[in-house]
């Protein structure tokens, strides 16, 4: 059976044996007797081979979608690993009579991520500077191991395995169910402001100022701008509006790309024109403030189902790095210069600063600094050469790449970026494997 990650194309597709259990007990049994190497599969929103197990078995968790318990007094939610963040938003994160509500403490750029996937990749959102990663809000979980055992993990119970599993890329076992702490917010609607900036140094000034007063911050960058305009973009910040409710978005996208076109529709002259026009969307006002629902702030791409199909049959790569604060401005400048020089621009170019709240996970990606995310249509060798150049700049700056987004990182880059690898390895389940783990040498020899 063929399974694909979100990036699509041959680099994000694998032939596997798949098991889709109907209950957590069936999932436990399936994980204990896969017959081959095994990996949990959430909702396929990772971009590359971190969620694939070529030639092995996937435990498809999409049927493990039951809520187990929710305490409205404390905001503690227990659910199965296949529950999507979208399900939690639609079912639980609703305004009460005051407009206040329990809300997800951390949301990535899509709500169609499973709870198990959010734990395995220790996802982050636009509020990392205030709330850290998703894993900081995971109170406990039950983990199935290939010996048939189910291990309860929390910060105080089997704590080492807890830390290894958060951000552990699914290699420590199969999360069956988890308890997470929701966040009490004064309103589900958001007060949001967009501010246009002309140069990269203005981004860092805006970020330093906004992080003090706004819950959510991130910027879109025109990655094709050069010279004095290099790094120009639009800085977006938002915070919950007290007493203002907003209904959850519909569970299904409003429109869907029905088929994959024969060629990529993203890139070229159209991309250059889009970037120039989008940067000028605020016109002479330079800033705009609105109050509205949270979907446009958190999940703008979720409104278009199957948007990844726009990249055509070859799919696309996503690159995301984080570099330390002291060298962030220079490293990001070098990366944007490399992208502009290559002519392979990215429509999605997101720049944000991470705070210094530590992640509980041994292999968690976020660290203090600046993070840059870019999408590139797969144009073959030229795209891989650009990705290698961006990886080199990241390594030279002392940064690291995000496994959930990666398809090309070398073993050396992974080892150098993740100092906790040696402490993590003893917790790997003997039967667990993934394409990513083999490629970067977490298990077995690294791919050549």
For the segment 350-385, what is each residue's pLDDT rounded down to a tens digit?
Answer: 999 999 999 999 999 999 999 999 999 999 999 999
CA-nearest of 334, 338, 332 to 352 is 332
**pLDDT on residue 171:** 98
Higher pLDDT among residues 172 and 345, named by residue: 172
What is the model's pLDDT at position 284? 67
**Residue 354 burial by CB count (10 A; 0-12/13-18/19+): exposed, middle or buried?**
buried
**Which one, of 223, 216, 51, 47, lies nearest residue 126 by Cα?**
216
* Helix-helix angle 325-342:381-396, to 10 degrees: 160
Bridge partners, 38 (sequence order)? 57, 432
Q: What is the pLDDT of residue 53?
A: 97
- Return the H-helix or E-strand segment holding 165: helix 159-165
SS3 state of residue 58: strand
Mean pLDDT of all residues in 408-434: 97
Does 448 have pLDDT greater than 70? no
The pLDDT value given to residue 429: 98
Question: How confident is the prediction for the chain on average, in pLDDT?
Answer: 94
Q: What ranges do the domains of the chain cover?
A: 2-62+426-440, 67-185, 190-410
Who wins on pLDDT, 209 or 275?
209
For the stretch 5-51, pLDDT in tens is 999 999 999 999 999 999 999 999 999 988 899 999 999 999 999 99
Q: Which CATH number fits domain 190-410: 3.40.50.2000, 3.40.190.10, 3.30.70.2520, 1.10.3720.10?
A: 3.30.70.2520
Using the predicted structure, report yes or no on whether residue 165 has a pLDDT greater than 90.
yes
pLDDT at 270: 67
Determine the average pLDDT of the residues in 212-221. 95
- Could you say which of 2.40.50.100, 3.30.465.10, 2.102.10.10, 3.40.50.10490 is the CATH number of the domain covering 67-185? 3.30.465.10
- 121, with CB counted inside 10 A (0-12, 13-18, 19+), is buried
Check whether 324 has a pLDDT greater than 90: yes
Which pLDDT value is given to residue 399?
98
Residue with the larger pLDDT of the pair 446 and 116: 116
Structure confidence at residue 257 (pLDDT): 83
Q: What is the pLDDT of residues 265-310, one digit of tens each?
A: 776 666 777 777 777 777 667 889 999 999 999 998 998 889 899 8
d(CA 341, CA 350): 18
Which helix (H) or strand (E) is 164 found in, with range?
Answer: helix 159-165
Cα torsion for 390, 393, 394, 396, to the nearest 10°?
A: 160
Instruction: Give the pLDDT confidence of 340-350 residue by residue, as tens digits.
Output: 999 887 778 99
**Residue 148 region, left (φ>0) first, then alpha (ψ -120 to 50), else beta?**
left
- Mean pLDDT calculated for residue range 304-331: 94
The confidence band for 112, taking pLDDT boundaries of 50, 70 and 90, is: very high
CA distance 405 to 6: 9
């Amino acid at each position: 059976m063929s399974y694909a990650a979100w990036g699509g194309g041959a680099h994000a597709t694998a032939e596997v044996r798949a098991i889709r259990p109907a209950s957590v007990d069936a999932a436990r049994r399936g994980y204990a007797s896969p017959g081959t190497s095994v990996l949990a599969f959430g909702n396929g929103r990772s971009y590359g081979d971190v969620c694939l197990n070529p030639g092995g078995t996937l435990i498809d968790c999409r049927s493990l979608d039951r809520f187990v318990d929710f305490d409205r007094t404390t905001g503690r939610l227990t659910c199965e690993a296949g529950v999507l963040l979208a399900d939690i938003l639609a079912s639980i994160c609703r305004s009460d009579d005051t407009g206040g509500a329990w809300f997800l403490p951390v949301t990535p750029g899509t709500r169609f991520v499973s709870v198990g996937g959010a734990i395995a990749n220790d996802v982050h959102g636009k509020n990392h500077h205030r709330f850290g990663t998703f894993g900081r809000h995971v109170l406990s979980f039950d983990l199935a191991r290939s010996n048939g055992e189910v291990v309860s993990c929390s910060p105080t119970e089997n704590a080492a395995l807890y830390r290894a599993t958060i951000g552990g890329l699914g290699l420590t076992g199969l999360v069956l169910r988890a308890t997470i702490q929701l966040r009490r917010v004064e309103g589900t609607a958001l007060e949001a402001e967009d501010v246009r900036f002309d140069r990269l140094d203005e981004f860092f000034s805006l970020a330093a100022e906004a992080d003090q007063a706004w819950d959510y911050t991130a910027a879109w960058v025109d990655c094709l701008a050069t010279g004095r305009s290099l790094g120009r973009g639009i800085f977006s910040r938002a915070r919950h509006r007290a007493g203002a409710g907003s209904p959850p978005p519909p569970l299904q996208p409003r429109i869907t790309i029905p088929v994959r076109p024969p060629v990529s529709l993203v890139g070229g002259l159209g991309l250059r024109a889009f970037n120039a026009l989008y940067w000028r969307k605020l016109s002479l006002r330079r800033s705009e403030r609105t109050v509205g629902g949270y979907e446009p702030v958190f999940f703008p791409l979720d409104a278009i189902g199957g948007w990844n199909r726009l990249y055509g049959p070859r799919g696309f790569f996503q690159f995301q790095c984080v570099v330390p604060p002291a060298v962030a401005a220079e490293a990001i400048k070098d990366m944007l210069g490399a992208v502009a020089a290559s002519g392979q621009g990215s429509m999605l170019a997101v720049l944000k600063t991470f705070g210094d709240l530590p992640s509980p996970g041994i292999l968690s990606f976020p660290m203090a600094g600046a993070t840059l995310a870019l999408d590139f249509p797969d144009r073959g060798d030229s795209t891989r050469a650009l990705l290698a150049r961006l990886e080199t700049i990241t390594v030279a700056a002392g940064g690291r790449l995000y496994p959930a987004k990666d398809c090309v990182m070398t073993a050396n880059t992974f080892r150098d970026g993740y100092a906790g690898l040696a402490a993590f390895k003893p917790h790997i389940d003997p039967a667990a494997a993934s394409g990513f783990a083999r490629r970067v040498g977490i298990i077995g020899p690294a791919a050549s």
